[in-house]
Structure 1
Amino acid sequence: MFRSLLTPRWLLLHALFVLATVATGFLAVWQWDRAHEAGGSFQNLGYALQWPLFGVFTIFLWVRLMRMEAHRDRDEAEPEAAEAAPQEEAASQVEAKPTVHRKRPLVPPPAPPVGAEDDPELAAYNQYLADLNKSDRRAS
């Protein structure tokens, strides 16, 4: 699980996140010092308080990405484990899943056809699409 977090791609990401977190810390200290100088303002003080929040968000994002990677590895390992198990156990696992009853279908029913008397422009367009569909089926 943690081996995937030691690949060259992830080592580069770890370095980037550490660098970003340290940079936000330095920027916070710099803005804090700037706010207390003679030319400092409340804007500098606001930035001094914002930079640590950016650092916390960087750490949050880092942890979140690592968890997503671990979850992805776990999902990829489950099918391999299911293939290694006997077919009888796999059949019992499939039967154990609860069935989901939907209140409405996933695909809505088709709309009623539009005649030339209802909307001639729409009827002509629908006929054009039907002709394209027929010619596409003949070509394949």
Structure 2
Amino acid sequence: MKRLWTPAWIFRHAAMVVLVITFLTLGWWQVSRASAGNAISWGYAVEWPIFAGFVVFVWWREVRHALGDRSTTDVAGSAQRGTGLADDAATIGTTAGLAGTAGAGRPRPGIRRPVRATRVTAGEGDADLAAYNRYLSWLNANPGAKPGDYPG
């Protein structure tokens, strides 16, 4: 819970409160304008509270992310227990590479999405494609290198 009281989080909490109060006030102002005869203000009177709700939704989502969402740990834990989710968890990347680490029960932070790679072999007339694939393979093998360092 201390994670939510850092200076950055205090700013986020304050910004959320200010935005929600501002948006709801603007919505009430639009209601008063609409009741005075401005018909287009009815749309704005509905729109401003929706904006306030969106701010609360994003804030809540960030709070859940900062505290650690249980849905990712449930997938990793069930995959390690052998409940049939091992292929999905390995595809997502929550248990990939964690077997030898100290925190094997915890997933890596961040969002992991499955990567689907298909290998396409270059035909006889695709010399440019084969050269580009060699270049990409070299970049993948040398992660710290710059594209200008390519020897080919």
Q: Which of the five TM-score ranges fits, normalised by the shorter chain?
A: 0.5 to 0.7
4+ residue segments displaced more than 6 Å: 130-133
> Match for residue 100 of structure 1?
87
Task: Please list every run of 5 or more consecutive structure 2 residues that lacks an aligned counterpart in the other structure.
Answer: 91-115, 139-148
Q: Report what 1:43 is aligned to.
A: 40
Give the residue type in structure 1 aligned to 2:14.
A
Identity across aligned pairs (percent)?
24
Residue aligning to 2:60: 63
TM-score by length of 1: 0.59
RMSD: 3.6
* Partner of residue 52, structure 1: 49
- The 1:48–1:127 alpha-carbon spacing in structure 2 relative to 1, beyond 3 Å, is closer
Give the deviation of 1:25 after TM superposition: 1.2
SS at 1:15 equivalent: helix
How far does residue 52 in structure 1 lie from its aligned partner after superposition?
1.3
Question: What TM-score results when the alignment is normalised by the length of structure 2?
Answer: 0.54
- The structure showing larger relative contact order (alpha-carbon pairs under 8 Å, at least 6 residues apart) is 1
Count of residues in Structure 1 that have an aligned counterpart in Structure 2: 106
- Structure with max Cα Rg: 1
Write the distance in 2 (CA, Å) between the matches of 1:23 and 1:33.
Answer: 15
- Taking the TM superposition and a 5 Å limit, the aligned residue runs for 1:1-140 are 2-37=1-36, 40-71=37-68, 96-98=80-82, 99-100=86-87, 107-111=117-121, 113-115=122-124, 119=125, 122-123=126-127, 125-126=128-129, 128-129=131-132, 136=150
CA distance in structure 2 between the partners assigned to 1:53 and 1:130 by the alignment? 48
Q: Quick check: which one's helix share is greater? A: 1
Shift in Å, 1:110: 4.0
Partners of 2:132 and 2:61 lie apart in 1 by: 46
Separation in structure 2 between the aligned mates of residue 127 and residue 28 of structure 1, nearest angstrom: 60
- Give the deviation of 1:47 after TM superposition: 0.7
Q: Distance in 2 between matches of 1:50 and 1:57?
A: 11
